[in-house]
Amino acid sequence: MFSIFQISGSAMQAQSQRMNVAASNLANADSVAGPDGQPYRAKQVVFEARGRDGSAGVGVSKVVEDATPLRREYRPGDPNADDQGYVSLPNVKPVEEMVNMIEASRSYQANVEVLNTSKQMMTKTLTLGEG
Amino acid sequence: MPNFHHRRRTDVVAGQQGTNMLDKLASALDFDRQALGLRFERQKVLAGNIANADTPDFKARDFDFSRALAQATARDGSHGQLAMTTTSAGHLGGAASGSGAAPEMLYRVPDQPSLDGNTVNMDVERAAFADNTVRYETSLSLINTRIRNLKAAMQSEQG
């Protein structure tokens, strides 16, 4: 009976995780060195339908790192520059991340709407036979 | 002693009438029950489609409501017996008890193919969701009316 809440809830969780990752990518768009000393690589979430034909909602199956080559910039004076004077910068594409963020936000809203509508439906169902 | 015996017999008869009446009450509400159940089932399917709007390779599903309802009521008309379809002369006829088989699920025909293989069209799904919600509530108020009518029929006149 309450599986709609589970379906929409899982989608909201997945979309907010996607938003988290987009935020992390944007925040680290210029992080020349991460904890491992390497430049930050953009991360992307991979969605996966749960249950038979998505009947149990959606989930994040994995978070993958973007394998595209890092951005290289000529900054001879930078302490992180290599012997040719180039600095490796993260491969985050801010425009793509913004699009990702907007899409995640819209999908989240759609699922909130589904949740609210279903909640009203359930509440009305609870009063069945009273009127 | 004969008096006691007589009273017991009327009790038994009244009891039998009681179960018959309950059967009738159940069957009076049965159509709406099936309709409401299928509406809820469809609501879940549509919620699943909306939830998977960004899942790669997800194919949007739906089912033909009127056909599913016709099937469900036909099944219930034969008191929960599922008739076996015979497509060849060699097949044996038969009936299995039990109802509640899931409606036949179909795939939505995509109108705009997308590169990741996802066939969810958010506008279609949301419109269908809103439509289904209203129809669910219609079913609900129909049941409510029916229950009210049955209750009114059960009331004594003096009230």
pLDDT tens, position by position, A34-93? 888 889 999 999 999 988 777 789 999 999 999 999 999 999 988 888 899 999 999 999
The pLDDT value given to residue A110: 95
Q: Which of B58, B105, B126 sits opposite A49 (nearest CB)?
A: B58
- Cβ separation of A57 and B136 shorter than 8 Å? no
Do A117 and B133 count as a contact with CB atoms less than 8 A apart?
A: yes
The CA radius of gyration of chain A, in Å to the nearest whole number, is 21
Mean pLDDT of B119-140: 94
What is the average per-residue pLDDT within B54-73? 90
Name the residue type at position A129: G
Is A98 in contact with A19 (CB distance < 8 Å)? no
The H-assigned helical ranges of A28-93 are none
The answer to whether A27 and A98 have CB atoms below 8 angstroms apart is no
Distance CA B95, CA B154 (A): 37
pLDDT at A117: 95
Q: Which residue, chain included where needed, has tokens 């795939």?
A: B107
Query: What's the confidence (pLDDT) of residue A42?
Result: 94
Both structure tokens of B143:
């049941």
Per CB-CB distance under 8 Å, the chain B contacts of A4 are 43-44, 47
Average pLDDT in the B18-25 region? 71
pLDDT of residue B94: 57
Tell me how far apart the alpha carbons of residues A106 and A101 are, in angstroms, rounded to a whole number: 9
In sequence order, what E strands does chain A have? 43-49, 58-65, 71-74, 86-89
User: In 10 A of CB A68, how many CB atoms?
Assistant: 10
**Mean per-residue pLDDT of chain B:** 79
Angstroms from B48 CA to nearest CA on chain A: 5
Residue B114 Cα, gap to closest chain A Cα (Å): 15
CA B91 to chain centre: 29
Length of chain A: 131
Q: What is the mean pLDDT of residues B14-22?
A: 59
Q: Which of B32, B106, B105 is nearest to B69 (CA)?
A: B32
